[in-house]
Amino acid sequence: MRIIIANWKMKFTIKESLNFLRRFKKQKLPFGVEVVLAPSFISLKEVGEGLKKTSLKLGAQDVFWQEKGAFTGEISPEMLKETRVEYVIVGHSERRQWLKETDEMINAKIVNLLKNDLMPVVCVGETWQEKNENLTEKVICRQIKVGFRNIKTDKTLVIAYEPVWAIGTGRPAFPEDAAQMHQLIRKCLEKIFGREAVKKNARVIYGGSVNAQNTAAFAKEEGIDGFLVGGASLDPEEFYKIIKACQSKNFKK
Ligand code: PGA
């Protein structure tokens, strides 16, 4: 089963989210693809209602690392669950950059999610500068090592490889480079969870300027289990084309 997640960031109002959903719901989803919509917090409840009786899943774009308490402006796992959320993105590079989120904070968020039976979608990836300084491997292994510190689980984990320089730039990674990074991510995860567990539970997806034109090239690569899509997920027709390009028959394995 491949996972395709629409990350709507701070782009859609409630009205716009529902408008997307109304148009998108008409499409027939191909077999073997799990499609997740991640609207803003404020749209979750209504989008969640709109998803009823469909096979679409609901995702959130973040969560706080504590379960409850005096944390003004934050959202807990319990609150997310009230709105049918199943997947939660954590560690997105925009939050690392603008909100100064650290690997330690992301670790605490993952712990909080797993404790509450929500599926984390953990974003990792290097900046352009790190890439040029040949630090990619080091950065990604650190993000994984600290991000999953003290975590023992046999639940599904989704890791999104999102090179920061590819996000929103129209310059995606080369598919073969992305596939190599996915392999590296699996190796780092194996050190924590063991080989068998990673094989069974880890899904590594790619994000960064994915669109209807380039999906098929990524889908052909080994070890790319799906996509986290930003800009191209805002248009129902384009997003549907991405999903169609991810049908099982177009993937290697
Ligand atoms: P993009 O964003 O598809 O617009 O590059 C991806 C993401 O930030 O998750």
- Return the residue whose CA atom lies nearest to atom 3 of ligand 1: 230
Please give the model's pTM, rounded to 2 decimal places. Answer: 0.96
Counting DSSP H helices and E strands in the chain, the numbers are 11, 8
CA 223 to chain centre: 15
- Return the residue whose CA atom lies nearest to atom 6 of ligand 1: 230
> What distance in angstroms lies between residue 231's CA and the mean position of ligand 1's atoms?
6
- Catalytic residue (choose from 34, 126, 162, 221): 162
Query: Which atom of ligand 1 lies at the shortest distance from residue 169's CA?
Result: 5
At residue 31, the pLDDT reads: 87
Residues 45 and 51: their CA atoms lie apart, in Å, by: 10
Each residue's pLDDT expressed in tens, for the chain with a length of 253 residues = 899 999 999 999 999 999 999 999 989 999 889 999 999 999 999 999 999 999 999 999 999 999 999 999 999 999 999 999 999 999 999 999 999 999 999 999 999 999 999 999 999 999 999 999 999 999 999 999 999 999 988 899 999 999 999 999 999 999 999 999 999 999 999 999 999 999 999 999 999 999 999 999 999 999 999 999 999 999 999 999 999 998 765 555 5
At residue 69, the pLDDT reads: 98
Query: Which atom of ligand 1 lies at the shortest distance from residue 93's CA?
Result: 8
Query: Which atom of ligand 1 lies at the shortest distance from residue 123's CA?
Result: 9
CA 250 to chain centre: 21
> What distance in angstroms lies between residue 4's CA and the mean position of ligand 1's atoms?
12
At residue 251, the pLDDT reads: 58
> What distance in angstroms lies between residue 74's CA and the mean position of ligand 1's atoms?
23
In which region does residue 42 sit, left (phi positive, over 0), alpha (psi from -120 to 50) or beta (all else)?
Answer: alpha
Q: Catalytic residue at 126? A: no
